[in-house]
Amino acid sequence: MSPSILQLARPDILELQPYQHAAWDPSLERMHANEMPWRASGDNSIAGLNRYPEPQPQALVERMAQLYGVPARQLLVGRGSDEAIDLLVRAFCRAGQDNVVITPPTFGFYKVAARIQGAGVLEVPLLRDGFALDAGQVIAAGLRAKIVFLCSPNNPTGNLLDEVAMLRVCTELAGKALVVVDEAYVEFCDRASLTARLAEFPNLVILRTLSKAYALAGARLGTVIASEDIIGLLRRIIPPYAIPASTVDEVLALTEAPQRALSAARIRTLLDERATMRERLERYANVARVFPSAANFLLVECRDARQFFAAGKSAGLIVRDFSSHPGLANCLRISIGTPDQNQRLLAAVEQP
C-alpha cells in the first residue's frame, strides 16, 4: 500500500472489516443468499432479477475500463458520480475534523456530501473573469483539507479549468490531500481526460459518468478512476450490491461499438447546436452575456432572468435558474436540446 495516499484516509475505515457478501461463483447453483429460486413473472433479464447482482460486475468493470482506457484494477463503478463523491468524503473525512475544498460556482453535491458527513467546507471562488481557477488559493486551502474537488468542464459555468493549474494543485498537495477532478462533461470538449496522468500523481482521482454523453442518466452509472490503493479503500465501504442487474444489462448493451458511434454523432450535432445557440442568444436584447462553454450547456447572463425563464415556460421548456447563487446574478443555464427544442426556445425568448 502507498502510505502517502492511505495515510490521508480515516483510520477507522482502514481498520474496517468490510461486509462479507455471499460468495460469487457463477459455476454453482445458488442456494446460499436467501433469494427466491424462481424469476418474477415477466422477468427477461439476463441474470434474473431474483438474484443479487455481482458486487462489482466483472463485465461492466471491464467495459468501463475499455471505454476510459484504464486498467480495470484502477476503477470502481457506482450509482452515478454522486455515490462516488459520497464514498470519497466518507473514506477520507472525519466528522468535525476534516475539510474539503470547493471552487464555487460549481457542482452543488460536493458541499452537500461534505455536510452530510460532518466535514468542513472551504470555499475558494473561481475568478470572476472567465471563472478561472485560483490555483494559489486552492493550494493554500488544500493544505487544511483532505479533498479538493475540481470540476472541468465546470458545472454550471461550462468552462474548462486550466490543466497546468490543476496539475500544479496535484503537485503541491501530493501526500497532503486528494485532488478529485470531475470530468462529467469531458466528452463535449477538445481536451483529453486526465486519466493519462494518474501514474504521475497518486493523489489524483478522476470521476466519469455515462449520464451525459451516453444518454444514460437514468441508468445511474458513474466511475471512479484512481490508484489501486484508493480503489481498494472505496471497495471497503461501497454497498455490497450497488449496481442493479438491470443497469448492468442496459449499460453493456448501450455501450457497444454501434451505440458509441451514435453517441459520437450526437455529440457532433450537439456541439453545432451549441455554437448556433450561443451566436443567436448573443444578439438578443435581454442577454447581457453568453459564457464560453466546453460542455453540453450554456450559462447565460440576462438583463431580466425572470422574463427569459418565463418565455421558455411559455414554449413548454424549462431552463435552470442560478440567479440566487453567489456570483451568478441573473444567470440561467440552458442545456442544449434537440434542434427543434433549441429553435422553440430561441423563438420564445426573442419576442419583445
Contact present, 93 and 100 (Cβ < 8 Å): yes
* Arithmetic mean of pLDDT over the chain: 94
Predicted pLDDT at 28: 86
DSSP 218: G
Mean pLDDT of 37-43: 91
Cell, residue 304: 431580466
218 CB neighbour count, 10 Å cutoff? 9
69 CB neighbour count, 10 Å cutoff? 11
| pLDDT tens column, 208-228 | 999 999 999 999 999 999 999
185 CB neighbour count, 10 Å cutoff? 23
Would the pLDDT of 2 be above 90? no
331, β-bridge pairs: 301
DSSP string, 8-33: TS-HHHHT-----PPP--TTS---SS
Instruction: Supply the CATH classification number for the domain 258-349.
Output: 3.90.1150.10
Instruction: Supply the CATH classification number for the domain 3-255.
Output: 3.40.640.10
| pLDDT tens column, 3-27 | 578 999 999 999 998 888 777 788 8
The percent of residues in the chain predicted with pLDDT above 70, rounded, is: 99
| Residue written as grid cell 483532505 | 146
Would the pLDDT of 40 be above 60? yes
Contact present, 74 and 227 (Cβ < 8 Å): yes
Q: In what order do the strands lie in the sheet with 331-335?
A: 287-290, 297-302, 331-335, 320-321
- How does residue 44 score in pLDDT terms, banded at 50, 70 and 90? confident
CA atoms of 85 and 44, how far apart (whole Å): 33
252: nearest Cα among 58, 26, 55, 53: 58
Would the pLDDT of 284 be above 70? yes
Would the pLDDT of 352 be above 70? no
Predicted pLDDT at 1: 41
- How does residue 342 score in pLDDT terms, banded at 50, 70 and 90? very high
Residues 6+ apart with CB under 8 A from 245: 45, 46, 47, 48, 49, 51, 53
Domain ranges across the chain: 3-255, 258-349
Cα dist. 267→36, 63, 109, 245, 301 in Å? 43, 21, 25, 28, 25
